[in-house]
Amino acid sequence: MCKLAEQYGEVFTFHMGSTKYVVLTGYDAVKEALVTQADDFGERNLTRVMKNNLKGKGIVFGVGESWKTMRRFTLSTLRDFGMGRSTIADRIEDEVQKVMEIFMQHQGRPFDPIINISSAVSNIICILVFGHRFEYDDPQFLRLLKLTTENVRLVTSPMVQLYNIFPIPAFLVNDLQKFKQNGMESRSYFRKVYQQCKAEHDGSDARSFIDSFVTRQQEEEGKNPKTYFDEENMVFSATNLFIAGTESTTTTIRWGLLLLMKYPHIQEKVQAEIESVIGRERPPRVDDRKNLPYTDAVLHEIQRFGNVIPNNILHETKEDTTFRGYHIPKGTPVIPLLGSVLFDKTQWQTPHQFNPGHFLDEDGRFIKRDAFMPFSAGRRVCIGENLAKMELFLFFTTLLQRFTLRPPPGVQPQDLDLSATPGFSYAPVPYELCAVKY
């Protein structure tokens, strides 16, 4: 799509089957659509598989008034439980300590850290959604994580993409059957927790997203016949949070670990900064960030370069819309291409190089960049942005205070593979690392 933009300009159309898609590329076009014309471009487009399975409910694939209500409720509830504030920072620190212990047990030998990272990251969202964490070897937890990983891959499998475009009967698409089965299995767990919570609900203080949902549902029962606080919205919103809260942050951390191994001189500079500002004894805290400009710049560059959701999630026009002189009818799928913003050569000095200097001024101070848009922008901007940033900061600073990351013996940093696996998110191919005591 970026190549097509070079030929056809920042805004262009292409067809898949009988559907016409509008692609927006580069910082200017994406910002103009998502921010300046936020209302026009704020609706979610549902592919055939999403329409049939999620029915416009929940948050990520929610539409219309139902989405608005769920998004507002989720944001305020998660804030009440400390999302983006110190309450949750303590929980993140606990989780990071657990990961450190596991890294320590490997005693500098090579291992793939993916399952430890996704368990730690997922536990943060579980604390908010369920009100508790899971042990890393809990079979139910491991099963939920497996179903999530599989479905994120299946939803963009070539056969499912074809099913989205052409009227192929569902029973012919094995990946779709598996996607549905997995979805039903994970939702049945969320449903069970919800029903248990409802049965035990006594109106006392809510301890989780699910608790608060039940309270609100009971408040609206009988009073508001059109309420959106129903079982389906509860189950889809909770599963959305579990998946969205686990997948992209885990993938970003995996890019970060790989990039730090690949560029050891950058890793050393981060470690030196942490050592001089925090020292080696006291664990890092969120408010150390302002005193760690180089580290902050590296974390932003990991997100820019990692580009974990390059195609964004499909938007659509809410009404007939005019954009840069083009008429775009209501309901047209729109792809605000985040990757084209994160690699826009008018915005970044060396877009295809991993260069923390993109976020530093001449005096080494951290600078915010408008084209830093991994969380998208506008009405649909990621609701977990602050939480994810907190997780990334505490994870990397705590890790690098204790360990140096190295490739397995015999592998040179420059030989590390930065290619990605296909799927909904852009993730590095599996790799092993050695965490050597610093």
Contacts with ligand HEM by CB under 6 A lie at 59-60, 71, 125, 240-241, 244-245, 248-249, 252, 308-309, 312-313, 338, 374-376, 380-384, 387-388
The CB-nearest residue to ligand HEM is 384
In the complex, the smallest distance separating the C-beta of residue 79 from ligand HEM, rounded to whole angstroms, is: 11
Min dist. Cβ of residue 413 to ligand HEM (A): 24
Q: Smaller CB distance to ligand HEM: residue 19 or 386? A: 386
- Closer Cβ to ligand HEM, 38 or 162, answer by number: 38
CA dihedral (29, 32, 35, 38) positive or negative: negative
Q: How far is the CB of 235 from ligand HEM (least distance, A)?
A: 14
- Residue among 310 and 407 whose Cβ is closer to ligand HEM: 310
73 vs 404, beta carbon nearer ligand HEM: 73
Query: In the complex with ligand HEM, which residue's Cβ is closer, 278 or 371?
Result: 371
Minimum Å gap between C-beta 308 and ligand HEM is: 5
Nearest approach, Cβ of residue 322 and ligand HEM (Å): 21
382 a known binding residue?
yes
Q: How far is the CB of 380 from ligand HEM (least distance, A)?
A: 4
Q: Closest separation between CB of residue 166 and ligand HEM, Å?
A: 25
Among residues 387 and 434, whose Cβ is nearest to ligand HEM? 387
Beta-bridge partner residues of 21: 14
Are 152 and 251 spatial neighbours (Cβ–Cβ below 8 Å)?
no
Is the CB of 293 or the CB of 306 nearer to ligand HEM? 306
Binding residues for heme: 382
Binding residues: 382
